[in-house]
A and B are shown apart, each in its own frame.
Chain A
Amino acid sequence: MFLLSCLPILLPVLAGAFLFLWNPESRRAREIYVMASALLTTSIILAAILTTYTQGHDATDCTLVRFSSGMTLSLHIDRASMIFGMIIAVLWPITTAYAFEYMKHEGKENKFFGFFLMSYGVVCGIAFAEDFLTLYIFYEMLTLSTLPLVMHSLDQKARYAGRKYFIYSFSGAAAVFILLIFLMQYGTTLNFTYGGVLDLKKIVGEESILRAVFVLSFFGFGVKAAVFPVHSWLPDASVAPTPVTALLHAVAVVKSGVFAIMRLIYFGFGTEFLYGTSAQTVVMAAAIVTIVFGSARAVRAQHFKRRLAYSTISNLSYIVLGFTLMTPAGLTAGLVHMVFHAVLKITLFFCAGAVMYKTGREYVYEMPGLARKMPIVFATYTVSALGLLGLPPLGGFVGKWNIATASVALGTPMGYAGAAALIVSAVLTVLYLLPVTVDSIWSRDTLVYDDAHAPKDPNAYMCVPLLLLTAGGVALAFVSQPLMALLSGVAAGM
């Protein structure tokens, strides 16, 4: 049974590697192969999650490598892993389908899909990691496996973006490495344990330095979670092909960072060690600043994907804010927003990508009248935008509501500031999302096309994912209560 938890990691990695050796000639063959392996992985992930859910952890625990007594590369599926695992398991095949169409005009598909599959496995590893060492390992792997995707086009901008990306990521990883050393020294174990792993006897007198290490490693993971001030790789990385920006830079990679932060706070140092300390103040402040900063920059950004990237930065910090509250409510709230933001933001990116793909327009002021040509794309865009800007009862609102109320419940000035930041960012969100819709529908100066070249909605490869995701996003909002019931399991240490 333990295969269930390690297969979803090994399978895509090997499948991706095999793609390089095989190097299929026909696009059709590759598509079938990639899709099959993606779907297979997805089904295995879901199976694993289901097994764990029904039969308990022991069913799926597994140790891949045993370095030494205390240090292992091992997998363990707990409630949080399930959530994250489910998100990626659902989104990956959809994105793959979208990518088939999109990558036609980007080229080098073989390389792309190879690394795309690999990163699937790696993200899975992050989701299922049992201890900090495993997490760290996959965290590094993630950087490496996604770097080629960011640098895909290998032109000047891509190289620059990639360079920035890996410098930031490696700096983050280096900080995490220091964390690892300290946990080995002051922790009882490296395994995630809800409530923290610190050895209370050892840390006497060392609290301050440990808190410093916490902050350091927070920003270390914060690189991937794009927390201010280590965020700036993300907007630049939006030069990557849209499937990458959509899936990796809105869901997989950045959520891995957020997920790691969650592990760090609740399963590493433990809330009672951090709650109410200056360390918490610092990280909360960082999250709050990021929320406002991200939205503000998004309003100013004119490049469509860049704007969405900044919006991602801001929204990620909603989640981080939830986590940094260090209360069960905050944890649940953060996870909820994690789920919703994943679905909504990937849809938005897909829309942006579809527009770029069909019309080659990248800037928001180039949209006038397009909605009348590409109704499906812009309808889905608008719905998801409404969801993201927090129109009740859609997803964004649920997340925002829970995070804000949780942070108010903190009762500290920081808590109120957090809620206020959410409000400000909500206003800004409207201002950077809706004008696109408005222009695309209402502007008078609709550009005139000769009907031959008039842009149309893209074909099913793109539209079906769009519609699926939008429908999913709306549907999720209506089951938000059971969803939260599920998520609160994490806070219960399940």
Chain B
Amino acid sequence: MLFLPLLFPLAGGICAFLIKKERPRNLCVMAALILTLASSVALCLRGAEPVTLLNIGGGISLRLGIDGMGRFFLLLMSAVWLIVAPFAFPYIKHEGRDRQFFGFYLLTLLSLMGLCVSKNAVTLYMFYELMTLLSIPLVLHSGTERARYAALKYLGYSVAGASLALFGLFLLHHYGGSGDFAAGGILPNVGSSQWLLVLAWFLMTLGFGCKAGMIPMQAWLTTAHPVAPAPASAVLSGIITKAGVLGIIRTTYFVFGPDILVGTWAQKTLMILALLTVLSGSMLAYKEKHLKKRLAYSTVSQVSYALFGLLLLTPTGALGALLQVFFHAAAKDVLFLAAGAMIYRTGREYADQYRGIGREMPVTLWCFAIGALSLIGIPPTGGYFSKWYLATSAIEYYGALGVVGAAVLLLSALLTAGYLLPIVARGFFPGRDYIPERREVGASMLVPMILLALSALIPGLFSGLLAMPLSLLSASLF
């Protein structure tokens, strides 16, 4: 049962590599994705006993298992993957090298699925590395010198991050840190060596933070995401970054447990780093003209919202973080897809070139608008809720730092508005002397955008829908 979500992408990926014809390949890709989603749904409903893949000498083993947090991410990721796929078919077709793209697209999903169902830190690390390696081809897709450079940068940063995490793991292993995950932490009461553990946590968070684009290791993100083809950058920004978040959640709440971390120097430092990231990300996005780059910067900033929430180490904060994860995934995907669609059609890449695009591709721009609103956090979109929770929890639990945090979030929201809305505005209201020509993209591209836009919108309207389970989940962490 646990293996199914891993099996289908694997099979699909291999097929994608082998099948030369386009239609059957696309069909098989879709089938694989649907099956993956289905199997993960089933897994979430049925649950499963943890299983041991392999005992590695040295007292560690690769174990798979499923729990609440796993369920959440499992569903999120497989769903988004499925939704984005149709968009990719036409898009990649004009990029070329489709087999390679879809093969790695599915294999990356495999690694993500593994990430969600991994039961202990070593397994997590394994799938994490795997994800890095498998997602590199997505960045590399075009094979140009820029792409190569970006890919190697991405590789270097990710591996450095992962290795930091591994180093933390080395330190932990001695205290049983490589055991099965359990909410609230698995470390026995460690008196004297707490400094060591806190250090380990700090390092691991920094390490996983790399994927989530947190300062100081965010530089790769804004290089790598833009050069990837739009669907790839969509999932990279929307999901792969979340893998980093998942890593941090796992280490913080399932290995160390909040208790030994609350109030330590590490927590404060990391929170400050997160806030810095939020702010600087938004500012750079505001200054950036290249659309995809801008979105990438905004990713940097947005994901750190979630990190900030997690680092508060409070139930509300965690809840806010989870919501942010979900909504940012939806919103940022739709933004990237919309951007991709626009570039695909118009070939324009800079934010100020989209004058009147709203007349030409209204649906696309509508989706873009919804995504933007959700990202800014304007009620009633979902983004509003997540940011609300984050801000309140920040103020509730933390004095000065909390207030500063809330302020930063607000400021960054304003900046977000500043760098997203103008596009929408100029897109819809180009001015009188503009003769639009219809050039909306096809259904296979529209449907995903619409779906994602809705998923960024609907749960916001009926916030209970999502907030209820997630609040339970976040409460269970403590």
Which residues on A are within 8 Å of B, measured CB to CB? 333, 336, 386, 391-393, 397-398, 401-402, 404-405, 408-409, 416, 419-420, 422-424, 426-427, 430-431, 434-435, 438-439, 442-444, 478, 480-481, 483-485
Q: Are A401 and B60 within 8 A (Cβ)? A: yes
B333 at interface, CB cutoff 8 A: no
Per-residue interface assignment for chain B, residues 43 to 60, with 1 indicating a CB less than 8 Å from any chain A CB and 0 otherwise:
000000000011111101
Q: Which residue of A lies closest to B122 (CB)?
A: A392
Q: Are A423 and B58 within 8 A (Cβ)? A: no
Can you show 10 pairs from A to B with CB atoms below 8 A apart? Answer: A391-B133, A398-B57, A405-B173, A419-B171, A420-B167, A422-B170, A423-B163, A423-B164, A430-B155, A443-B148
Residues of A within 8 A of B142 (CB): 444
B408 at interface, CB cutoff 8 A: no
Given contacts A427-B156, A478-B54, 15 further A-B contacts (CB under 8 A): A392-B62, A392-B125, A393-B56, A401-B60, A405-B58, A416-B171, A422-B170, A426-B163, A427-B159, A430-B155, A431-B159, A438-B140, A438-B151, A442-B151, A484-B57
Q: Which of B118-176 contact A (CB under 8 A)?
A: 122-123, 125-126, 129-130, 133, 136-137, 140, 142-145, 147-148, 151-152, 155-156, 159-160, 163-164, 166-167, 170-171, 173-174
Which residues on B are within 8 Å of A, measured CB to CB? 53-58, 60, 62, 122-123, 125-126, 129-130, 133, 136-137, 140, 142-145, 147-148, 151-152, 155-156, 159-160, 163-164, 166-167, 170-171, 173-174
Among A333, A405, A416, A419, find the residue whose CB has the most chain B CB atoms closer than 10 A. A405
Give, as a whole number of angstroms, the nearest-CB distance from B141 to chain A.
8
A335 to B369, CA, bound (A): 60
Q: Which residue of A lies closest to B125 (CB)?
A: A392
Give, as a whole number of angstroms, the nearest-CB distance from B51 to chain A.
15
Q: Are B170 and A419 within 8 A (Cβ)? A: yes
Residues of A within 8 A of B58 (CB): 333, 336, 398, 401-402, 405, 484
- Give the dominant DSSP class at B's interface: helix
A16 to B290, CA, bound (A): 68
Residues of A within 8 A of B152 (CB): 431, 435, 438
Known: A392-B122, A427-B159, A481-B55. A444 touches B140 (CB 8 A): no
Give, as a whole number of angstroms, the nearest-CB distance from B461 to chain A.
43
- Give the dominant DSSP class at A's interface: helix
Give, as a whole number of angstroms, the nearest-CB distance from A431 to chain B.
6
Known: A408-B170, A426-B166. A481 touches B57 (CB 8 A): yes
Q: Are B56 and A480 within 8 A (Cβ)? A: yes
A489 to B152, CA, bound (A): 42
Residues of B within 8 A of A423 (CB): 163-164, 166-167, 170
Q: Are B57 and A404 within 8 A (Cβ)? A: no
Nearest 9 pairs between A and B by C-beta?
A484-B57, A392-B126, A444-B143, A402-B58, A404-B170, A430-B159, A423-B167, A480-B57, A423-B163
A430 to B123, CA, bound (A): 19
A478 to B56, CA, bound (A): 8
Residues of B within 8 A of A484 (CB): 57-58
Q: Are B54 and A393 within 8 A (Cβ)? A: yes
A269 to B333, CA, bound (A): 63
Among A438, A483, A484, find the residue whose CB has the most chain B CB atoms closer than 10 A. A438
Give, as a whole number of angstroms, the nearest-CB distance from B326 to chain A.
29
A386 to B155, CA, bound (A): 13
Q: Are A439 and B57 within 8 A (Cβ)? A: no
Q: Are B156 and A431 within 8 A (Cβ)? A: yes
Known: A405-B173, A427-B156, A430-B159. A442 touches B54 (CB 8 A): no
Give, as a whole number of angstroms, the nearest-CB distance from B297 to chain A.
25
